[in-house]
Structure 1
Amino acid sequence: MAPSRSRYSTTRVKACQHCITAKAKCDRKETCGRCALRSLTCSYPGRFREPIVDSQHSGNSENWENSNTSDTLDFEQSLLQTDAPADLHFAPLDLVCPINSDDIKNRWLNSYVPLPGQSPKNYSQSVINFVYRMLKSYASTVIRGRLPPFIHPMQQSLVPLSTCFTLVRICDPLPGNVSIAADILQREMTRLYEERGTYESIHLLGVFQAYLIYSMVLFFHLGPSMPFLRQAMINLQEIACATSREGLVCAAEQRGALPKWESWIMAEAKRRTLYTMYFLDNVLSAHDGLTTYLGTELRGLYSPSSKYLWQADRNGWEQSYNSHLAEWGSEPFRLDELWPFPDGISEEEIKRQRRRVDRWLEDVDEFGTMLYAASSCTHGG
C-alpha cells in the first residue's frame, strides 16, 4: 500500500505560514510582500525544498531521503517561532564583545601547541560521561522536533535553523544506512561554512547553532569516529569567532541597565551556544585522547541566565530583568566564578564567592545546572 500523503498535498495553499497566523492577505509569491517587508523567511505549509543531492548519490540517497523526510512537511516550526510577533526587531543590536574572539578560532591549536599558562581541565571519566550524555540529549531533542536549551524560542534566524531542524529528522528513526544520512548533513555543513560570510547578526547566529547541531548529531548518532568531525570542529570554532565578534554582551548589561529584549535574547543565546560548543570540544578531545584546557579566553563572560528570564515573554522578561538588576546590578554572575579559586584569595572572599554561586543556582534552568555540575565536579568550590 502506498504511503499516505501529507494532508497539504491535495489542498491548494492560499497563504504562507506567517500570513495564515497573522490572518493577513498574502500575495502568494515565492517570498510574499509581507514577509519581505519584515525580513521573514516565507514558507508555505506542505512545501519542502529538498537539499541538493550529488549525481553520484542520485539513486539510493535521493530516494531514501525523500521517503524519510515525507513526515517532516508538517514539522512544528512554531517551536522556532517562525510566527514570532511582528513587534520583534533584531536590528539594531547594541552588543559588544569583551573578549578576544580570535582566541576562540584558535582554540583547536591548544591541544597540539599549548600556550604558556594554560590550565588543563582534569576531567574525570564520570564527568566526561555526564557531559557526553547531556550533549547527546540535546542532539536527540532536536531530532525529535524540540528546542535545545541554547536556542531561544523567539529567534528569527529561520533559514539555517528551520532547514537544520528538518534535515536532522532523517535520524528519527535512525536509518539503516547511516553513511547516506551523514553525507546529507555534511554537505549542508559544508554549504553553511562556505557561505558564512553572507550572513550577519541573528542569521549568523543561526548558522552557528545549526552547524553545532549537525556536529552533535554526527558525533552522537551517526558515527563518533568520522574524520570529518575534527575539521568540522575547526570550522565551527571559526564560525563561533565570527559570531562572537559581533557581540556577546549587551552594552546595557555592562552598565547595569535594562537592555532591549531582542538584544538580550541574542547575547544570551550566543553565550549558551558558545558554552555548548566548548563542551562538545571537550568531549571530542577526550574521545581522541587529547588534553583539554580551561577556556580562559572566555573569562568575564556571564553565566547562563535564570530560567525566569530565558523562558519569559516580553512583559514577563522586563519584570524579571528589573528584579535581576535589583539583585545583581552591574555585576552579573560570571562564568569564571565557577572556576578554581585564584591563589592568594582570602577566606572572606571565598565565602562571598560561594554566596554568589548559591544565589545564582537558585534560578538556573537545566542548562545552568549542567554547566555547574560539570564545573563543580571538576574544580570543586
Structure 2
Amino acid sequence: MIQPSSDSTPDSNNILPNDWLLWNTGPPQSVPPLVKHNMETLLKVMKTWPRTMAKGFQTPPMLHFTHLEPSRTLWPMKNCVTVARMWVSQDDGAAELVRQAALQEMRVLFQQHRSMDERHLLAALQALVMYTVMLMFPGKGQISLSIVDPAIFACLQRVISYVARTGLLLTEERDCIQPAWEAWVHVTGKRRAVFSLYLLHWSYSVYHNLESFACSQLGFMPAPTPKFLWQCETEDKWEELYARWLSQWRDGPYMMSEFAAIQAGIALEQRSERWLEDADELGILFFSIGNTVYPCVEWW
C-alpha cells in the first residue's frame, strides 16, 4: 500500500494560487525568438503524448509502464485512454465532441480528487495532463493553440496544490537512502505529472502572451530521474541500478534549482553533466530550454 510521503520539507507546500496567473497585467510584450522556439518545441513534443499513449507501443515519458498495464490501470487513466483514442481517430469536424468528452472527464476528476486514495490521485493527475493537451489541440490536424477556459487552469492549480500536500519528495530521497521501488515510482510519477503541467502552462502562456507561473516553485524537487531507472521493468533490476546510481549522488540528488547555475557555452559543471548523462526525454526538455524561460529569465 502506498502511503502519503512523510516529507517535511516546507517548500513542498509552496505551490500557491498566484503561481498560475493567466492574465496579462501589463502591455503586450514581444516574445524573444529563442523563447518562441522553446515554446514551440515543447508544444510539438507534448502534443504527441496522447497519441503515444493511445497507440500503446510505449508510454509517454510522464508515465511509468506500470501505470498503463491492463491489470493495474485505474479508472481515471482507463477513461483517459478511451478519450485519447477518440481524439486520435476523430473525423473532420469532430473537435467539439472530443473537447466535450475531455471536459466532462476533467470535471469528474476536479470534483472527486480529494476523496481519492494515493494511487487514484496520481492516475487522476496524469489524466489531467493528457486532457489539457487535448483541450489545447482538440481538432484533427490543428496547427494553432486553442483557448482554454482560465477556470480549467485554476482547477488544475488546486489539484496540484492538493497533490503537493501529499508529498513530492520521499524522506529516503532527501537522506540519500534507497527507497522501495513502488514508493519511488509513485512519487516520481507525481513529480513528472506536475512538471508536465507546468511546462504546458508556461507554453500556453507564452503562445497567448499571458502571464505565467512563478517558476521558482519547482526548485525544491529533484530533476527528472534517469531514463534507465524510470524504464526499468523489474524491481530486482531497479534495486541494482538504483544502488549504483545512488553511489554517484552521495552529495544529494540533482535538484531543479540547479538548472539556474548552467552557463552559456559548450561545457557544463560536474553535477549538471553527471545528471545529463542519464537524462530521459522529459529531462532533456527541461535542459533544452534551460534558463531562457520567459518571463522568468532566471527559472528557479
Q: TM-score range by the shorter chain?
A: 0.7 to 0.9
Q: Residues 197-242 of structure 1, C-alpha deviation per residue, up to 9 Å, x if partnerless?
A: 22131111111111111111121243733443x2212211211111
CA contact (8 A) 2:83 2:98 kept: no
| Correspondence list, 1:317-356, <5 A | 317-340=238-261, 354-356=269-271
Deviates more, 1:359-368 or 1:282-291: 282-291
1:255 is matched with 175
Give the aligned residue type for 1:158.
Answer: L
| Correspondence list, 1:214-363, <5 A | 214-222=131-139, 224-228=145-149, 230-312=150-232, 313-340=234-261, 354-363=269-278
Q: How far apart, in 1, do the equivalents of 2:292 and 2:125 lie?
A: 29
2:85 counterpart of 1:169: yes
Higher relative contact order (CA 8 A, sep 6+): 2
Q: How far apart, in 2, do the equivalents of 1:273 and 1:135 lie?
A: 12
SS at match of 2:188: helix
CA contact (8 A) 2:98 2:138 kept: no
| Correspondence list, 1:77-156, <5 A | 90-96=1-7, 98=9, 99-109=11-21, 124-145=35-56, 146-155=58-67, 156=72
Return 5+ residue gaps in structure 2 as ranges.
none
Percent identical: 24
Give the aligned residue type for 1:234.
Answer: A
Q: How far apart, in 2, do the equivalents of 1:317 and 1:105 lie?
A: 37
Q: How far apart, in 1, do the equivalents of 2:194 and 2:18 lie?
A: 14
Give the aligned residue type for 1:217.
Answer: M
What is the number of equivalent residue pairs in this alignment? 276
Aligned alpha-carbon RMSD (Å) = 2.7
Change beyond 3 A, Cα 1:111–1:297? farther
Q: How far apart, in 1, do the equivalents of 2:23 and 2:83 lie?
A: 32
CA contact (8 A) 1:108 1:234 kept: yes
Give the structure with higher Rg (CA): 1
Q: Residues 274-310 of structure 1, C-alpha deviation per residue, up to 9 Å, x if partnerless?
A: 1111100011111221133551122221001111111
In the TM superposition, residue 333 of structure 1 has moved relative to its aligned partner by 0.4
Change beyond 3 A, Cα 1:97–1:213? farther
Return 5+ residue gaps in structure 1 as ranges.
1-89, 115-120, 343-351
In the TM superposition, residue 245 of structure 1 has moved relative to its aligned partner by 1.1
CA contact (8 A) 2:64 2:185 kept: yes
CA contact (8 A) 1:160 1:207 kept: yes
Q: How far apart, in 1, do the equivalents of 2:54 and 2:222 lie?
A: 29
Deviates more, 1:326-335 or 1:137-146: 137-146
Q: How far apart, in 1, do the equivalents of 2:46 and 2:228 lie?
A: 23
